Amino acid sequence: MLIGEKIKNICKKNKVKFIINDDPLLALKLDADGCHLGQKDMNIKIAKKILGKKIIGITCHNSINLAKKAIKAKADYIAFGAFNQSKTKKTKHVASVNILNKVKKFTKTPIVAIGGINSFNYKNLLLNNANFLAISSYIWKNKKYKPLKAIEKLK
């Protein structure tokens, strides 16, 4: 069994959406719930032809202009970040909660916050109009807590 299929089953069991990063063709192959596209990935119009009605989200870094383009292209969600330094990726674009509040004024499109999110800073993002959080290193590279314990700290 492919690792993607194992992860899909874990997501289904826990009632969590299974979103593939950067690869609409893999998302289709695995029958994922959707795909997340970075600015250098496939164009959303092509991805929509491949995935149909599946979820497609777009990285907008810290740009209102990119957000407006993604909304116009009918992205299912828009993602901003990094809000903090991360162990997952080198931080090229820094975002602040101001962008979440500005974007929320002109769209109902769900907003995802990403980048260095942990048990100390996640609430501030949710209180400032982030609808969802993308959390990686706090869960998977945490030196203090194993993944399940790290997740419990976010409740």
Task: For residue range 81-112, list pLDDT tens digits in order.
Answer: 999 877 666 767 789 999 999 999 999 999 99
**Section 118-132 average pLDDT:** 96
- The residue extents of the domains of the chain are 60-152
Which helix (H) or strand (E) is 80 found in, with range? strand 77-81
What are the CA-CA distances from residue 71 to residues 6, 77, 78, 81 (Å)?
32, 8, 8, 17
Task: For residue range 2-40, list pLDDT tens digits in order.
Answer: 888 998 998 898 888 999 999 999 999 999 999 999 999
Domain 60-152 sits in CATH at: 3.20.20.70
